Amino acid sequence: MLRKLVVLVHILFLGIAACLHADEVLLEQFYGNGVHAYNQGDFFGAYDAFNSAIKGGTNDPRAYYFRGLTYLKLGRDPEAKSDFQAGAELEAGDSANVYPVDRSLERVQGKSRQILEQYRNMVHAAAVQRKRSEERRVGKE
């Protein structure tokens, strides 16, 4: 009986892992489709693809960055800034060093890139400050 239960639990975990992997692949496809659309100047198509990835639960900061860049192209600056902030927080948090953000943004230049970099730098500086404060607090205990 115990053996059957162990096998059943193992199968359940494998099924969950397969579903999670499938979801990640789908979210990556949305992101990739969005980048292609963005680079081709199809900003409505790019928005739809990035929005699908984000609503699907991606933790990829690049999806937020590119949706923000898309918002800028569509004249929706407040939404762009919100996405830049969200992407920067993901990049500074658990998603740090997981996604090739710098490489993905190489083609993005000009004023849009400068605005995006302001958010990345601001959030990174705040994360470093929080870490230092935490280290000092722990060191005093």
Q: What is the pLDDT of residues 41-96, one digit of tens each?
A: 999 999 999 999 999 999 999 999 999 999 999 999 999 999 999 999 999 887 66
Query: Chain-centre distance of CA 27, in angstroms?
Result: 10
CA distances from 86 to 1, 11, 129 (A): 48, 36, 18
Residue bearing the bigger pLDDT, 22 or 44: 44
Query: Residue 20's pLDDT is what?
Result: 44
Q: Which of 26-35, 55-64, 98-107, 128-137 has the lowest mean pLDDT?
A: 128-137
pLDDT at 17 over 80: no
% of residues, the chain, pLDDT over 70: 81
Residue bearing the bigger pLDDT, 11 or 31: 31
Average pLDDT, the chain: 85
Q: Could you tell me if residue 41 is left (phi over 0), alpha (psi between -120 and 50 degrees) or otherwise beta?
A: left
- Please check whether residue 72 is in contact with residue 112, taking contact to mean a CB–CB distance below 8 angstroms: yes
Q: Which of 72, 33, 28, 36 shows the shortest CA–CA distance to 49?
A: 33
- 141: confidence class by pLDDT, cuts 50, 70, 90: low
Residue 52, number of CB atoms within 10 A of its CB: 18
**Residue partners of 93: CB distance under 8 A and separation at least 6:** 127
Residue 71, number of CB atoms within 10 A of its CB: 23
pTM for the whole thing? 0.79
